[in-house]
Amino acid sequence: MKKFYFLLINSLFLTSAIFAGETDYTKGLSIWFDTPNGLYGETARHTSRNPDAVWHAAYRNSNAAWESQSLPIGNGSLGASIIGSVETECITFNEKTLWRGGPNTAKGAEYYWNVNKQSAHVLDEIRKAFTEGDQQKAEILTRQNFNSEVPYEANREKPFRFGNFTIMGEFYVETGLDTLGISDYKRILSLDSALAVVQFKKDNVAYQRSYFISYPANVMVMRFSADRAGMQNLVFSYAPNSISQGSLSGDGDKGLVFSASLNNNGMKYVVRIQAETKGGTLSNTGCRLTVKGADEVVFYVTADTDYKMNFNPDFKDPKTYVGVDPAETTCQWINNAVMQGYTALFQQHYSDYAALFNRVRLNLNPTVKTSEIPTPQRLKNYRNGQPDYYLEELYYQFGRYLLIASSRAGNMPANLQGIWHNDVDGPWRVDYHNNINVQMNYWPACPTNLSECMLPLVDFIRTLVKPGEKTAQSYFGARGWTASISSNIFGFTTPLESQDMSWNFNPMAGPWLATHIWEYYDYTRDLNFLKETGYELIKSSADFAVDFLWHKPDGTYTAAPSTSPEHGPVDQGATFVHAVVREILLDAIEASKVLGVDKKKRKQWNDVLSKLVSYKIGRYGQLMEWSTDIDDPKDEHRHVNHLFGLHPGHTVSPVTTPELATAAKVVLLHRGDGATGWSMGWKLNQWARLQDGNHAYTLFGNLLKNGTMDNLWDTHPPFQIDGNFGGTAGVTEMLLQSHMGFIQLLPALPNAWKDGSVSGICAKGNFEVDMIWENNQLKEATLRSGAGGNCVIKYGDKMLSFKTIKGQSYQIKYDVAKGLIRN
């Protein structure tokens, strides 16, 4: 436990240091660099010689400095990436609801909404083709009828309906300095305080920049200071994106305001900046804030759009997602922030953030000394085989940091890049990808004690229900709701244009999303949530799953047509689909029992579940991916959809279904230990569920070595944030599992983590768990009961069951001879 207290003391020291104006931010958990970035973007966009440059649409997301060297900060609505150049600081800036597309494009609501094909009548013909063994006909009919007219690329139609998440622009702060003669450079992201810092010395002057984004105040704050008076000579300017119509003007003597609308859909947005100085002079001319001879400068930045989240959209109203006036909201936010000032804002920000982040501590091999070296060097050493338990802890907590920074109540969930994006368009539209990616973003939320961060996903799911009902009815003649592979902030649930059904046919996206509703309840045991919000979402999704299935003449149920997302042919019973159906039906059954409702529906769900085609084991001993045994043991595809029942589901387990678990292991061995970042994250979780800690650790190591950039962002490639979240979730699964009806302690502890401790991780049933282990063996555990009720604990082959009282803590010791002992 020594390292735990060391980190806690460092965290407290960090807080004191911030308020005292000190500069040692590497204490505690931090990502840091010792080399400055160059002039970001060079002449392609903006330099001091080209102050009026704007965003170039052709600039892509592959910029190495932004993607692997920047430091991300955010509050769930606003996001920024700090580049850390000496000459001209560059900050890319995002607001999560700035999206092209939707019903307010030039052609109106009908153009946007009326895109579902009326394809339900084709299902009988497809199923008849399967019955007759005509695979080709079944595939052709599926390709032709289960897409839409909506393309996925902006250059394919005008106006672009699906849309994409886009950047608000960039801020530039010209410093009048150059890199000649600088020393002691550090660019730091403190995970303990959600504070980014750039510091260096030049000509015997120590310069410092501090950045944070406050969730309570909804502002970004940037402070430029030095240890000598009068050294701040800055020019602040803003470069908007190139896909808007707007005007940048002065806002009083100290501010700038950019009022604009997107060309594509008229979405209004406002960016507002104000500067406050100590000493020196501040002028506001030519839409540039110029500071001369100041001791300190604080820039306050905020932004908003006119987007309104809508759970019951009017399909005839083009403005159904239009709400607030961003000019009013941003004015209020900026005035409140300036009135509070830097210190009060930071105290408020830190209190809010630390209340979430500090819930969980992880300490691996605490007696092993760790060196103070920059994060890129740590990664380099790790790739060369040097153990680094601090790096593993850092990566784990970075995932929690990113979730807090990109997913807070009141806005949309984390997207493919969380909240950080540096272009007008980006990889996969930087959308909500529903065939694993957005789901993976939320795997760590409840287990790592961040259930509040799950609420944006719940709201996002609610925005899909009404449009999803139309999609379910049009394509499948089904009750309930569903979604397809890609969604946006405007309730898009339809398949896209492509006839490539390997990725574009994914009607189980809706039920998969709905399983997260039960997940949230199961961890929090918030009965009001289940009754008022959750149950209807789960129930209607289960109804869709039942109606989607083919009730064959022999009485069985199967998924025809179906696919294994992004892999393989159109099938008459893909294992992935059956696994998701099992999960949502089991969730619906349990939810109805908890609430004591819908006995008749429960009976139907149970009946379908009992007749659903079972898992099959193929000729290689593998869990089959399709209805026929066509798996290739040399196939190393990144998707392992057919193992959904192992993870994130719970219908395959070495505890309850050992034969199926062995077959799942064969699949993972065939697929190998490589792949894209997010895929390694998924396999890490699956190996943990197989309770093979050493193999899970291999995947964790591969994720760090081969799927992680210098700033610890996950790379697909390109940057895609789900791997970060999958990695954090996977480590938690190695330490604690509770999906099988009991709490299993250290189910997949690797040999490498000989000694350690973890505190604050969560189990289903609303339990918090702390553990200490020594010599790869549990020493003691503490459980805190948040809801009361029965608790069953498993460690190795030992079990312990006892009743708990809400709010009480329980101490558990492990003795080799006596097993688990409750103190």
Position 25 scores a pLDDT of 56
Main-chain dihedrals φ then ψ at residue 695, nearest 5 degrees = -75, -35
State mean pLDDT over 392-418: 98
Topology of domain 2-101+166-358, CATH: Beta-galactosidase; Chain A, domain 5 (2.70.98)
| pLDDT tens, residue by residue, 268-288 | 999 999 999 999 999 999 999
| pLDDT tens, residue by residue, 406-457 | 999 999 999 999 999 999 999 999 999 999 999 999 999 999 999 999 999 9
Position 458 scores a pLDDT of 98
Q: Are 291 and 277 in contact (CB under 8 A)?
A: yes
Position 553 scores a pLDDT of 94
pLDDT beyond 90 at 676: yes
| pLDDT tens, residue by residue, 773-793 | 999 999 999 999 999 999 999
State mean pLDDT over 512-524: 98
State mean pLDDT over 482-508: 97
Position 823 scores a pLDDT of 85
Q: Are 269 and 168 in contact (CB under 8 A)?
A: yes
Of residues 63 and 673, more confidence is placed in 673
Q: Are 760 and 360 in contact (CB under 8 A)?
A: yes
Q: What is the band of 386 on the pLDDT scale with cuts at 50, 70, 90?
A: very high
Longest dimension (CA), the chain: 85
pLDDT beyond 80 at 118: yes
pLDDT beyond 70 at 2: no
Position 60 scores a pLDDT of 42
Main-chain dihedrals φ then ψ at residue 748, nearest 5 degrees = -140, 50
pLDDT beyond 50 at 382: yes
| pLDDT tens, residue by residue, 222-241 | 999 999 999 999 999 999 99
Task: Tell me 614's DSSP state.
Answer: P
Q: Which amino acid is at 120?
A: A
Beta strands in 263-375 (DSSP E): 268-278, 281-285, 288-294, 296-305, 361-364
Decide: helix, strand or coil at residue 334: helix
Q: What percent of the chain has pLDDT over 70?
A: 94
State mean pLDDT over 296-301: 98
pTM: 0.95
Position 38 scores a pLDDT of 82
pLDDT beyond 50 at 191: yes
Q: Which CATH architecture fits 756-822?
A: Sandwich (2.60)
pLDDT beyond 60 at 252: yes
| pLDDT tens, residue by residue, 703-755 | 999 999 999 999 999 999 999 999 999 999 999 999 999 999 999 999 999 99
Q: Are 645 and 689 in contact (CB under 8 A)?
A: no
Position 438 scores a pLDDT of 98
| pLDDT tens, residue by residue, 15-60 | 333 433 434 555 789 999 999 998 654 323 333 323 233 333 333 4
Range with the poorest average pLDDT among 4-8, 337-341, 461-465, 599-603: 4-8
State mean pLDDT over 171-190: 96
pLDDT beyond 80 at 5: no
Main-chain dihedrals φ then ψ at residue 232, nearest 5 degrees = -95, 105
Mean pLDDT for all residues in the chain: 94
Q: Are 699 and 693 in contact (CB under 8 A)?
A: no
State mean pLDDT over 342-368: 97
Q: Report residue 555 as tokens.
A: 């009485």
Of residues 20 and 551, more confidence is placed in 551
Position 51 scores a pLDDT of 29
How far does CA 149 lie from the centroid of its chain? 29
Position 63 scores a pLDDT of 74
Position 39 scores a pLDDT of 60
**C-alpha distance from residue 414 to each of 93, 144, 172, 432, 649 (Å):** 16, 33, 26, 8, 22
**Where in the chain are the domains?**
2-101+166-358, 756-822
Phi-psi region of 822 (alpha: psi -120 to 50; beta: other; left: phi over 0): beta
**C-alpha distance from residue 581 to each of 289, 457, 537, 538, 650 (Å):** 58, 20, 15, 12, 12
**C-alpha distance from residue 30 to each of 91, 474, 723 (Å):** 20, 51, 19
**Nearest of 115, 123, 122, 111 to residue 147 by alpha carbon:** 115
Q: Are 565 and 435 in contact (CB under 8 A)?
A: yes
**C-alpha distance from residue 591 to each of 84, 293, 514, 601, 605 (Å):** 50, 64, 12, 12, 12
| pLDDT tens, residue by residue, 589-636 | 999 999 999 999 999 999 999 999 999 999 999 999 999 999 999 999
b/e map of 20-36 (b: 16 or more CB within 10 Å)? eeebebbbbbbbbbeeb
